[in-house]
Structure 1
Amino acid sequence: MVVPTYNEAANLAWIVARLREAVPEVDVLVVDDSSPDGTGAIADDLAAADSRVRVLHRQGKEGLGAAYLAGFQVALDAGYDVIGEMDADGSHQPEQLPLLLEALRDADLVIGARWVPGGTVVNWSRFREALSRGGNLYVRLLLGMGVHDATAGYRLFRRTTLEKIDLAEVQSTGYVFQTDLTYRTVQAGLRVREVPIEFVERVRGDSKMSGQVAGESLRRITVWGLRERRDQLHGRLRRRSR
């Protein structure tokens, strides 16, 4: 599991311990973006005490997507066949990871989803829930995907999936990275399964989500959607002209 961190000193040891207990055979890669609160040093201590924990230190805060891309490359180079992602703040419960692993038996990408039957969120305001649901509906309609929670960040990829969607071409560095990889997976004709999870809002530390981050995501998704509609229109016109 790739776990990106930035100022997660209050959460990292706690979440790694839960993850190792929930699925003892899991290997953990902490990707720290030079957190000024000492998260990187905590990660190093965890790695020194547990051979299944590794740390990738990066030079600065370059965005969630950039951290995942770096972590994915390390995992691919190490030969892993299944590569996952999850937050370090406890919102993604390690105890639910076996549900995702089971679903991966007949999927290329498994998403721990909030907005499917059985999925729930804890400690969110109605406004934030409406914003997330609305954003995912917008993604679904604009990009023509059947995925209900394309923005979710609790995931498992097969190695072959990451190789087929060509990570070298991914330029998303922020939270839109999740939607980007979902869209690429669907476009590649691969199987996506959504597993209902209980998402728990962090109780320690500060959220990295902001209005600016959400706005950047919507702008990029809109560009992708308009490009997709343009390509579809051009394809229909070419077929008619034959």
Structure 2
Amino acid sequence: MKTLVIIPTYNEADNVGWITDSVLTEQPEVEILVADDNSPDGTGDIADKLAEADPRIHVLHREGKEGLGAAYKAGFAWGLERDYDVLVEMDADGSHRPEDLGRLLDSARAGVPLTLGSRWVPGGSVVNWPKRREALSRGASLYARLMLNLGVKDATAGFRAFRRETLEAIDLAAVESQGYCFQIDMTRQTRLAGLEVAEVPVTFVERVHGQSKMSLDIVKEALTRVTVWGLLRMNPFRR
């Protein structure tokens, strides 16, 4: 099946070269789309050179930093227009290990509409995470699962594989969330479409180079939106 790995970047000059090389070493048949938000550190220029050297690498230059959700939605649109069968979300910083990608692809190719690379199922783990970060992630997933009845252990997982039919069944234009919340929202939208969501274990590794994009605003957005969605779901008089 024709597979596209979407890697959003913003100031990932130290990472974009080795992560694309590692992905293609592990899975030589996939293609990569680097969706760069006009990184001031030259990430986009580096990606262009990588694309010139390898036809499996493509670059989508975006006008500026609009957030993770907007980058992925642009990447999905790019891939759907070009008839990819499986579209994968993957971080540029190495936190999503290329050696775990095969598990997600096997699941997607077997017909699962959405497969999450999960830290919190048996066999999943995190490496070099402070306890407060782990508590935040576990707590956010638990809250989303209870409020939205998602039925998954790792609702905020950012390493995931969609079949094209899944993305076509979702109203992507209505998904305005970013960060943690974008991932929760996409899981929610998949469930609302009546589609299966599966989890496979992965090892999440804290980034070595560059700075995390996590912020208090991202956490606040997730808490607010999940609370509103949950209350609407539980309100029998909602329209």
Same fold (TM over 0.5): yes
Length, aligned pairs only? 234
Ranges in structure 1 where 5+ consecutive residues have no aligned partner: 236-242
Q: Contact 1:174/1:213 (CA < 8 Å) preserved in 2?
A: yes
Q: Give the structure 2 partner of residue 239 of structure 1.
A: none
What's the CA shift string for 1:32-51, capped at 9, x where partnerless? 00000000000000000000
1:133 aligns with 138
Aligned to 2:213: 208
The alignment-based identity, stated in percent, is 60
In 2, Cα distance between equivalents of 1:25 and 1:11: 21
Q: Which runs of 5+ in 2 are unaligned?
A: none
**What is the aligned counterpart of 1:58 among 62, 67, 73?**
62
2:82 maps to 1:78: yes
**Which amino acid in the other structure matches residue 222 of structure 1?**
T
Residues 189-239 of structure 1: CA deviation (Å, up to 9, x unaligned)? 101110010000001100000122111111111111111111xx238xxxx
**Residue matched to 1:184:** 189
Does the aligned pair in 1 maintain the 2:19–2:94 contact within 8 Å? yes
**Cα distance in 2 for residues equivalent to 1:26 and 1:4:** 16
Asked if 1:116 is matched to 2:121, the reply is yes
Residue 10 (structure 1) aligned with residue 14 (structure 2): yes
Normalising by structure 1, we get a TM-score of 0.94
Quickly say closer, same or farther: Cα 1:227–1:137, change in 2 above 3 A: same
In structure 2, what is the Cα distance between the partners aligned to 1:135 and 1:175?
9
Which stretch shifts more, 171-180 or 76-85?
171-180
Residue 106 of structure 1 deviates from its aligned partner by 3.7
Q: What do you get for the CA RMSD once the two structures are aligned?
A: 1.3
The separation in 2 between residues aligned to 1:164 and 1:193, in whole angstroms, is 17
CA contact (8 A) 2:178 2:218 kept: no
The match for 2:158 is 153
Larger Cα-atom Rg? 1
Paired letter, 1:141: L
Aligned equivalent of 1:19: 23
| Aligned position for 1:222 | 227
Q: Distance in 1 between matches of 2:111 and 2:83?
A: 21
